[in-house]
Amino acid sequence: MWQYIAQSLSTLASVTGVLYMAGGALLGVFFGALPGLSGGMVMTLLLPVTYKMDPILALALFMALHVGSSCGGAIGSILLGIPGTSSSIATTWDGYEFTKKGDPVTPLSVTVVSNLFGIIPGIIIAMFAAKGLADLGVKLGPWEYAAMIFTALALVIGLSGDSILKGFIGVGFAVIISCVGVDPVTSRDRFTFGINNFYSGFNVVNMMLGLFAAKIIMMEYVRQSKTKDATKIKVDRFRWPGKQIKDNIVNIVSSFIIGAFIGFLPGLGGPTSSVVAYSTNKSIAKDKEKWGQGAIGGVWAPEIATKGGIGGAMIPMIALGIPGDVIMVQFMTVMQNHGVVAGPALMMDRPDMVYILYTAAFIASIFVFIIQAVAMPLFPKFISMPYHYLYPAIIVISFLGAYMVKNNYFGIGVAVCACILGLVMDNFDIPSMPFIMTYILASLFEKNVRQGIIAATKGGWDFVTRPVSLIFILVGV
C-alpha cells in the first residue's frame, strides 16, 4: 500500500501534477459556488478530453474538481440563500441566517474547516474498507453481483422523489436505450436497424454531456439565477472556528458517521446525507429551537456529512464497480475510456489508479482549504460572475466534446437527443439519477443475470438459494 501512495505522491508532486490539482481545486470551488452549476458539470465537459490524457492525472484532476465543488457549494448557500450544489441545500437553512445578521464569516469558516474534518477521515476509512470489500468481491459469482446491482438500483428508485413510479420510468428509459448495440453475452447485434453508428451503442460520455451539461445550462438560462446581490455582501478574513469545534464535537462525529454510511449506499450521496445529518442532530441538540434561525450546528451537520460521504461513495465504486453516486460514474467513465473496469479486480490490476484517488483526495482537501481560507473575502465576487458569458461557452464545449469522443457528428446527435430527453424528464419530474445509474449498470446487470442462469444448477432458483444473493435481493425488495 505505502509504495503506491509514495508513487502517487511522486506523480502529484510533478509540475503537471501540481497544476492539475491546484487548477482542479480552484475550478471546483468556483463552479461549485455558482448556483445551478457545479464541478460535476465541469467534469462532464472534460470527459472527452480524458481520452488523450494520462489516466492517472485525469483521475487526480477529477478528484480535485470533485472536492473543490463539494466545498464550494456552501458559498452560494450562505451568501445568497441559493445552494451552489444540491448537497448544500441544508446548509442554506442556518448559513444564510448568519449572512442576514451581518456575520457570513462564521458559517463560511466552518465550511472551510469541515472540508478537512470530513474528507480526510473518510478517505482513510475508504482505503481499508475498499480493500476488504474487494477481497470479498473476488469470491462472488454472477448471482451475487446481479443481486447487488438490483439492490443498488432499488435504493436509487426508492429515494427518487415523491413518485417511485417515475423512478421506474427513468429506469425503463435507460434499459431500452442501453439495449441498443451488441449483446453482452452472445455479441450479436440488436436494435441497430442496420445503422453502423448504433453497433457500439450510445457512448456514456455523449449521454452525460447532453443529459447534464447542456440540459442544466438550458434550464438555468430559463430560470435566470440572480447573483448580482452578492456584490453588496462584505466578507472578512477566515477565522479558525475553535470554539465552534469544541461546542459541536458530538455533532461533528455523528454527522461524519451518517455521511460516510449514506455515501456508501449506492445512489444516495450528499443531498440525502446532509438532510439526514441535519435532522438527526437537530433532534438531539440542546438549542434545537434556534436551528433554522442561525444555529452554527445547523451548518456543521450538513457540511461534515457531505464531505464524509466522499470517501464512503468511493468504496462500492472501487471494490464492486457500483457507483456510490453520479460523480463516481464520472470516475468510472474515465477508467473505461482507458480500458479499465472498476470492480474487485481493480485493486489487483491497477492499484496505481486506486491509490491516486486516495492521495489526490488528501491533497485536494488541503489545496481547497488553502484556497478558501485565503480567498474568503473574494467569495462575493466568485458568485457575481455574469452568467451570460458562461452559458454560450459551456454549450459550445459540450457539443465540441461530443464530437471529440468518436470524431464524428453522430456523437453530437446523441448529446442533443440526451439533452431533449433530460428536458422532457425534468418537465414530468422524472429523476435523472435512476436513469444514469441504470444506464451505467444495465449491461453489467444483464450480463451477470444471464451468466448466472447459464451456469446455474437449479435455473433461476440459484439466485434465491445462495445466501449472499438472497440477502441482497431481500434488501432490495
Instruction: Read off the pLDDT of residues 409-432 as tens digits, 9 standing for 90 and up.
Output: 888 888 888 888 888 888 888 877
How many Å apart are CA 367 and CA 381, to the nearest integer? 20
**What would the grid cell of residue 67 be?**
472536492
Instruction: For 79-142, give the DSSP string.
Output: HHSS-SSGGGHHHHHHHHHHHHTT--HHHHHHHHHHHHHHHHHHHHHHHHHHHHHHHHHHT--H
- Model pTM score: 0.80
Amino acid present at 443: S
Cα dihedral 330, 347, 179, 268 sign: negative
461: CB partners within 8 A, 6+ apart:
none
319: CB partners within 8 A, 6+ apart:
129, 130, 131, 133, 134, 137, 343, 344, 347
Alpha carbon separation from 305 to 111, 120, 275 (Å, rounded)? 11, 13, 9
Classify residue 458 by its DSSP letter: S
Q: Are 27 and 40 in contact (CB under 8 A)?
A: no
Q: Which of 133, 87, 135, 128 is nearest to 111 (CA)?
A: 87
CA 49 to chain CA centroid, nearest Å: 19
* Residue bearing cell 435566470: 224
Counts of helices then strands in the chain (DSSP H, E) = 23, 2
Alpha carbon separation from 366 to 7, 257, 306, 326 (Å, rounded)? 19, 21, 17, 24
Classify residue 213 by its DSSP letter: I
Q: Are 59 and 357 in contact (CB under 8 A)?
A: yes
How many Å apart are CA 126 and CA 328, to the nearest integer? 14
Q: Which of 389, 115, 460 is nearest to 227 (CA)?
A: 389
pLDDT digit of tens for each residue in the chain (477 aa)?
778 888 888 888 888 889 999 999 998 888 887 766 666 778 888 888 888 888 899 999 999 998 988 888 888 788 877 776 667 778 888 888 888 888 888 989 999 999 889 899 999 998 888 887 777 766 778 888 888 888 878 877 766 556 778 888 888 888 899 888 888 777 788 888 888 888 888 887 788 778 776 776 676 666 555 555 555 677 788 889 888 888 889 999 999 998 888 888 766 666 678 878 888 888 888 887 888 888 889 889 989 998 988 888 888 888 888 877 778 888 888 888 888 888 788 888 888 888 998 999 999 999 999 999 998 888 887 776 666 666 777 777 777 878 877 778 888 888 888 888 888 888 888 877 788 778 878 888 888 888 888 887 776 778 887 888 888 788 777
**What would the grid cell of residue 193 be?**
436497424
Instruction: Give the number of other Cβ atoms within 10 Å of residue 185's Cβ.
Output: 13
How many Å apart are CA 214 and CA 202, to the nearest integer? 17
